[in-house]
Amino acid sequence: MSSEKVSVHGSWASRWVFILAATGSAVGLGSIWKFPYMVGEYGGGAFVLVFLACIALIGVPVMLAETLIGRRARQSPANALAALARDVGQPAAWSWAAFAGMLTALLILSFYSVVGGWSFDYILDMAKGDFQGVTPDQVGAYFGNVIGDPLRLIFWHSVFMFTSAVVIAKGVVGGLERSLRIMMPLLFVLLLVLLGYSMTTGHFMQGLHFMFDFDASKVLDGLLPAMGHAFFSLSVGVGSIMIYGAYMPKSASIGGTIVSVALLDTFVSLLAGVALFPIVFAAGLNPSEGPGLMFVTLPYAFGSVPFGQVMGVVFFILVGVAAWSSAISLLEPMVAYLVERHKISRAWVSTWLALACWLFGLGTVFSFNLWKEAKFFVNDAAGFHLYQWGAQAGLDFFGVVDFFTSRIMLPLGGLCFAVFAGWVMGRAAVRDELAMRHPLAFEATFFLMRYVAPCGILIVFAAQLWK
Ligand code: PFF
């Protein structure tokens, strides 16, 4: 296979643009909204530690595998896997891993857009001054009202999905660069400002202890959730990073670039957690509050400091943009595939895909109101039921989609990509694509990709089953 191929969808102007786009994909609601509430739900330090180990030993090797597959083939994930497999006399059926990834990405987008919509909603609420001087209980009630109103959620879900579709229809390469160059650093600065505020709450150390004190008895419970979230947070396992890799210039070094993106993403997650928990404790909120954690904690913080109103508006705009740049990367693999395959226009494909995700996303909207009582996989004193209305235990519709995507499909996708790079493509092709200067660095990376990541994923699955 020649490595001089060029993608038909365009290519990033430089390594920096790839870093921006990949960081834009990785940093999003996963770091700022999901990571803190998962830390709260799965007991703090043990979850954080397992998450970090999963990022280093599994997430980064899979991310490298995805990027190098994409850049080698310069096509959408499904066609990339098929072409590279054929090159080495293996079945083109490998492309099924990419099809599964595309479906997973669309499922993720369906709920991602709903939560992205909450951020958009909060921009206006902040600007109106709804949170000035309110108590934590009042913010909690406010959030309850927001998610309890299906029409309001549908409106913002539609705005989020529509704007994402417009950008993707215009083409990823180009549009993203300009906005991300400003927005990403600004988001980072605002998180630092929040961190500064956390330090003044008098509960900073309590927050740090919660985030980093290790309690071995909690490790097993948080194992699969932490691994799943490592994939979610890095955007790996669905082909998003693979398609971005396909647009990466040949001259860029994959190793250094991917490690930078993973470090940035992890840093933002930790920063969000360290900034958030002291405020949670200061406000007497419950760390295991669930998906509402950030939407209750931060408005309260912004509502009680000077200039908080302006900072709050800017913060939710930035969260919205971070979510938006991730959403775009969720749609891109499928859009690129359909454009390659059927030669139809990006605009047409983007519109229909966004519409399908929007429709499915209504399930997530209703999980917080009309279908709140609908529970799946209920396992309580009365035994196991696939579905029960009004049960205490079990998962709601959003919970099912989140569980299926983050905990099952992303790790399975990652397993396929790591095995493909480590065992199917062959050492020579991987070495050529990674182009690492030190042979030892290559050997270590290849070892992680070939053995550590796949075994790690299987061990976590096994531990979950036998727990
Ligand atoms: N990494 C994104 C976040 O943390 O918000 C979410 C995401 C984007 C997951 C793209 C998967 C993906 F392919």
Q: What is the pLDDT of residue 6?
A: 66
The DSSP bridge partners found for residue 389 are: 374
Residue whose CA is at the smallest distance from ligand 1 atom 11: 235
Atom of ligand 1 nearest to the CA of 237: 13
Check: CB of residue 193 under 8 Å from CB of residue 311. Answer: yes
Q: What are phi and psi of 375, to 5 degrees?
A: -120, 135
Residue 113, ligand 1, Cβ within 6 A: no
Instruction: Look up tokens 């955007």; give the residue.
Output: 235
**Closest to 29 in 3D by CA, of 91, 112, 106:** 112
User: Which residue shows structure tokens 């980064």?
Assistant: 60
Query: How many beta carbons lie within 10 A of that of residue 466, not counting itself?
Result: 7
Q: What is the pLDDT of residue 85?
A: 97
CA–CA distances in Å: residue 456 to residues 217, 232, 411, 423: 20, 16, 10, 16
**Token pair for 153:** 């959620």
Residue partners of 207: CB distance under 8 A and separation at least 6: 198, 274, 276, 277, 278, 279, 280, 281
| CA 459 / ligand 1 centre spacing (Å) | 23
Q: Which atom of ligand 1 is nearest to the CA of 105?
A: 13
The answer to whether the CB of 422 falls within 8 A of the CB of 454 is: yes
- Tell whether ligand 1 has an atom less than 6 A from the beta carbon of residue 108: yes
233 lines ligand 1 (CB under 6 A): yes
Q: Please, what is the angle between helix 45-54 and helix 219-234, to 10°? A: 50
Amino acid letter for position 400: V
* 388 SS3 class: strand
Residue nearest to atom 10 of ligand 1 (CA): 235
Q: Which atom of ligand 1 is nearest to the CA of 30?
A: 4
Closest to 108 measured CA to CA, from 459, 407, 439, 422: 407
pLDDT the model gives residue 174? 63
Q: Do the beta carbons of residue 171 and residue 10 sit within 8 Å?
A: yes
Residue 326: CB within 6 Å of ligand 1? yes
Residue numbers of the chain with a pLDDT score lower than 50? 1-3
Residue 1's pLDDT is 42
For residue 232, give the ligand 1 atom closest to its CA.
Answer: 9
Which residues lie below 8 Å from residue 344, measured CB to CB, with a gap of 6+? 338
- A 10 A CB-CB count for 356 gives 14
- Separation between Cα atoms, residue 316 and residue 323, nearest integer Å: 10
Alpha carbon of 23 to ligand 1 centroid (Å): 10
Q: Give the Cα separation of 431 and 10 in Å (integer).
A: 25
Amino acid at 420: F
Q: Which atom of ligand 1 is least distant from the CA of 234?
A: 1
The DSSP 8-state label assigned to residue 395 in this structure reads B
Residue whose Cα lies nearest atom 7 of ligand 1: it is 235
Q: Could you report how far apart the first and last alpha carbons of the chain are, in Å?
A: 45
Residue 302 contacts residue 315 (beta carbons within 8 Å): yes
Pocket test for ligand 1, best of 23, 25, 103 (most atoms within 8 A of CB): 25
Residue type, 99: F
- What is the maximum span of the chain, computed from C-alpha positions, in angstroms? 67
| 428 burial level (CB within 10 Å; 0-12, 13-18, 19+) | exposed
